[in-house]
Amino acid sequence: MPGAIYAEGLVKTFGDVRALDGVDLDVPEGTVLGLLGPNGAGKTTAVRCLTTLLRPDSGKAVVAGIDVLRQPNEVRRSIGLSGQFAAVDEYLTGRENLQMVGQLYQMKSRAAKARAGELLDQFHLSDAGDRPTKTYSGGMRRRLDLAAALVVSPPVMFMDEPTTGLDPRNRQELWEVIKQLVAGGTTLLLTTQYLEEADHLAHDIAVVDHGRVIARGTSDQLKARTGGERVEVVVHERDHIGTASEVLAGFGKGPTTVEEHTRKLTVPVTGGAKLLAEVIRELDTRGIEIDDIGLRRPTLDDVFLSLTGHVAEAEGESNGPAGDAGHEQQKETAK
Amino acid sequence: MSAATDAPPATAPANPIGQSLRDSLVIARRNLIRMTRIPEMVLFGIIQPVMFVILFTYVFGGSIKVGSTTDSDVYKDFLMAGIFAQTVTFATAGSAAGIADDMQKGLVDRFRSLPMARGAVLTGRTVADLVQTSITLLVLAIVALLVGWRTGSAEPTNIGRVLAGFGLLLLLGYAFTWIGALIGLSVRTPEAATSGGIIWLFPVTFVSNAFVDPTQMTPWLRHVAEWNPFSAVVQACRELFGNPGVVQSDAWPMQHPVWATLTYSIVIVLIFRTLAVRKYRRAAG
């Protein structure tokens, strides 16, 4: 029996561009699928096809047991969509926005009003509920957008890059909300450019590139293919490379790679920050001066590099280069 | 936050026409709330035609011949039907810009993912724009009275006929907002929609009987002017208001301007509503 979200051979072309080039998906009920890929990979197009916004050129799609192409309006009753761009009316208050969406889901006016109040409470927006959403912060707007997608507690949810452009604190907050939602039994398809996000939220990940699913599996399986965490060290003097290499070999789970001209050594490890501290102490004991050291987790770029041999390249319109995820993670861990 | 399981499920509507009406009203209400939050847009919508009334009255009044006279009082009475008609048709730009803005902001995506009536987003927009046009027209009529416009100045009339004139103005204006809706769905940005919604209206409103007598135009232009839907409503208003400048012509819309306006309005709504709703259903956002 197919899952709550099922797609087979979805193809969509825009002129010469094959945005979807035969996408197959199967998301079992109550689970989360992370659709991971750079800008222009086809993630948004896939979501638009599954949510009735776009008609695929060919292929089959079934959501909540309903044929998307044959009964789009029945599908719309069973799904919630939270877009990449917070699709709320900026001149309406949070409450008015939620009430309007409720009414358009065919709830009675009074019921829609009550539901709007509940959702504002749940998403900690009660205090701001009667202000136009224009005055909301980015994080508040995303929460409201998510609340709007949840008005009728749909069994199947789609979130297109829910945290793109949010600061780390707001991202964490939104992750918590999404986790609770999934704990309640909702089936979720989520697109993201951040491996870390897919890691946190998704049971399964499908990596998309050029309109195709190029790999699928759990986060651990994908990371195993990419090589997991690494410690990166830049030593101050070229003469110390040999000694540093010995030190790292003692901690590493694989061969150390050395870039002579940048004085950079990289070794795969397990053990995270605790291990990093030990490495630093050991290097210090040996009197090796270092310019930089950091724990590097696999990024979208690493996944792509290992799967395709090329880094994730942004295509089409970009609201932040695809490499952003990698840079941010490096910054966070390289201190 | 607790899991959101206590919400009522979305239910299938009892009857499609009722749903369509209800959804349209929900959207119209939303657009009217927006209007109260951006009062400057309503204000600019009023200032522009008021400026036209004042400029035309005092700059051109006294130099343009209406019938056989250049009396500025006669010109005022002649002018107002044209300005009123221009005002209601210029609402097209507002509809176009509003819909293009909703597309750009991702609101149309939100609406299209909801189990709502397909034409409701556009109907709600055009209805809200009709309310705005009515307010503008009311203010404009008051200003026109203040600068000396009078009904019944050429032929006797009554309040019923005058109100019928305003009704026809609003009807044609409403029909034109459906052209605006189609333009709004066809362009990429609200800015393009504003210009795209208005430029074609200049030839439409000027190649007409609104500001000059078409019998003075070259024959082919005169035919265009006399069959122009815009001329029909202007002619109908002059007749109903009892104002001067009613065109003497064999052209059917000039002889039966009220019927012509009704027919044109219905035909425009039928054609452009069909095209716009079809475009909306396929909108790529």
How many Å apart are CA B231 and CA B82, to the nearest integer?
Answer: 9
Mean pLDDT of all residues in A290-294: 89
Least confident of A127-141, A229-243, B53-67, B174-188: B53-67
Q: Looking at the complex, report in whole angstroms how far the Cα of residue A205 sits from the nearest Cα belonging to chain B.
A: 24
How many Å apart are CA B101 and CA B97, to the nearest integer?
Answer: 6
Q: What is the pLDDT of residue B149?
A: 93
Q: What is the pLDDT of residue A311?
A: 59
How many Å apart are CA B124 and CA B115, to the nearest integer?
Answer: 16
User: A103 to chain B: which residues are within 8 Å by CB?
Assistant: 22-23, 26
Residue A333: pLDDT band with limits 50, 70, 90: very low
Q: What is the pLDDT of residue A164?
A: 82
Q: Do B6 and A53 touch (CB under 8 A)?
A: no
Residue A118 scores a pLDDT above 90: yes
Q: What is the pLDDT of residue B10?
A: 53
Q: By C-alpha distance, which of B187, B182, B199 is closest to B104?
A: B187
Mean pLDDT of all residues in A149-177: 88
Of A85-99, A110-124, B8-22, B52-66, highest mean pLDDT: A110-124
Mean pLDDT of all residues in A218-231: 77
How many Å apart are CA A147 and CA A34, to the nearest integer?
Answer: 20
| From A52, A76, A96, residue closest to B33, measured CB to CB | A96
Residue A168: pLDDT band with limits 50, 70, 90: confident
Q: What is the pLDDT of residue A221?
A: 80
**Percentage with pLDDT > 70 across chain A:** 88
Phi/psi at A220 (nearest 5 deg)? -65, -40
Q: What is the pLDDT of residue B67?
A: 77
Task: Report the half-sphere exposure of A276 (CA within 13 A, side-chain side).
Answer: 17
Residue A334: pLDDT band with limits 50, 70, 90: very low
Q: Which residue has the higher pLDDT, A134 or A194?
A: A134
Please give the mean pLDDT across all residues of chain A.
Answer: 84
Q: By C-alpha distance, which of B71, B169, B12 is closest to B177?
A: B169
Q: Which residue has the higher pLDDT, A2 or B233?
A: B233
Q: By C-alpha distance, which of A32, A64, A83 is closest to B9?
A: A64
Q: What is the pLDDT of residue A300?
A: 62
Mean pLDDT of all residues in B25-49: 93
User: A151 to chain B: which residues are within 8 Å by CB?
Assistant: 7
Q: What is the pLDDT of residue B2?
A: 40
Residue A276: pLDDT band with limits 50, 70, 90: confident
User: B6 to chain A: which residues are within 8 Å by CB?
Assistant: 118, 153
Mean pLDDT of all residues in B200-213: 91
Q: Do B4 and A119 touch (CB under 8 A)?
A: yes
Residue A323: pLDDT band with limits 50, 70, 90: very low
Q: Do A150 and B5 touch (CB under 8 A)?
A: no
User: A181 to chain B: which residues are within 8 Å by CB?
Assistant: 3-4
Of A18-27, B58-67, B262-271, highest mean pLDDT: B262-271
Mean pLDDT of all residues in A314-320: 39
| From A53, A92, A103, residue closest to B113, measured CB to CB | A53
Name every residue whose Cβ is closer than 8 Å to that of residue A99 and which is 6 or more positions away in sequence. Answer: A109, A112, A113, A115, A116
User: A30 to chain B: which residues are within 8 Å by CB?
Assistant: none
How large is the greatest C-alpha to C-alpha distance in chain A, in angstroms?
76
Q: Kindly report the pTM of this predicted structure.
A: 0.81
Burial class (CB in 10 A: 0-12, 13-18, 19+), A130: exposed
How many Å apart are CA A195 and CA A210, to the nearest integer?
Answer: 18
Q: What is the pLDDT of residue A91?
A: 95
Residue B220: pLDDT band with limits 50, 70, 90: very high
**Percentage with pLDDT > 90 across chain A:** 40
**Percentage with pLDDT > 90 across chain B:** 69
Asked if residues B234 and B226 have their Cβ atoms less than 8 Å apart, the reply is: no
Q: Do A77 and B6 touch (CB under 8 A)?
A: no
**Percentage with pLDDT > 70 across chain B:** 94
Does B33 reach chain A within 8 Å, measured CB to CB?
A: yes
Q: What is the pLDDT of residue A298?
A: 73
Of A310-314, B89-93, B165-169, highest mean pLDDT: B165-169
Mean pLDDT of all residues in A72-99: 89
Residue A224 scores a pLDDT above 80: no
Does B14 reach chain A within 8 Å, measured CB to CB?
A: no
List the beta strands (DSSP E) in A56-196. 58-63, 66-67, 79-82, 156-160, 187-192
Q: Do A152 and B106 touch (CB under 8 A)?
A: no
Asked if residues B186 and B276 have their Cβ atoms less than 8 Å apart, the reply is: no
Q: What is the pLDDT of residue B226?
A: 95
Asked if residues A73 and B117 have their Cβ atoms less than 8 Å apart, the reply is: no
Q: Looking at the complex, report in whole angstroms how far the Cα of residue A233 sits from the nearest Cα belonging to chain B.
A: 43
Chain A and chain B share a number of CB contacts under 8 A equal to 119
Amino acid letter at B169?
Answer: L
According to DSSP, the residues that pair with A235 across neighbouring strands are A290
Q: Which residue has the higher pLDDT, A328 or B163?
A: B163
According to DSSP, the residues that pair with A11 across neighbouring strands are A21, A58
Asked if residues B118 and B282 have their Cβ atoms less than 8 Å apart, the reply is: no
Q: What SS3 state is found at A291?
A: strand
Residue A1 scores a pLDDT above 60: no
pLDDT in tens, B94-148: 999 999 999 988 899 899 999 999 899 999 999 999 999 999 999 999 999 999 9
| From A87, A90, A115, residue closest to B110, measured CB to CB | A87
How many Å apart are CA A46 and CA A258, to the nearest integer?
Answer: 41
The token duo for B113 is 């993912």
Q: What is the pLDDT of residue B38?
A: 92
Residue A326 scores a pLDDT above 50: no
Please write down the HEC assignment for all residues of chain B. Answer: CCCCCCCCCCCCCCCHHHHHHHHHHHHHHHHHHHHHHCHHHHHHHHHHHHHHHHHHHHHHCCCCCECCECCHHHHHHHHHHHHHHHHHHHHHHHHHHHHHHHHHHCHHHHHHCCCCCCCHHHHHHHHHHHHHHHHHHHHHHHHHHHCCCCCCCCCCCCHHHHHHHHHHHHHHHHHHHHHHHHHHHHCCCHHHHHHHHHCCHHHHHHCCCCCCCHHHCCHHHHHHHHHCHHHHHHHHHHHHHCCCCCCCCCCHHHHCHHHHHHHHHHHHHHHHHHHHHHHHHHCCC
- Torsion region of A15: left, alpha or beta (phi above 0 gives left; psi -120 to 50 gives alpha): left
Q: By C-alpha distance, which of A282, A64, A98, A269 is closest to A186?
A: A64
Count of CB atoms within 10 A of residue B212's CB?
18
Q: Tokens 């959501």 appear where?
A: A63
Q: Is the dihedral of CA A244, A248, A254, A259 positive or negative?
A: negative
Q: What is the pLDDT of residue B118?
A: 86
Q: Which residue has the higher pLDDT, A195 or A7?
A: A7
Residues, chain A: 335
Residue A226 scores a pLDDT above 90: no
Count of CB atoms within 10 A of residue A237's CB?
12
The token duo for A20 is 């979807």
User: B125 to chain A: which residues are within 8 Å by CB?
Assistant: none
Please give the mean pLDDT across all residues of chain B.
Answer: 90
How many Å apart are CA A144 and CA A127, to the nearest integer?
Answer: 13
Residue A87 scores a pLDDT above 90: no
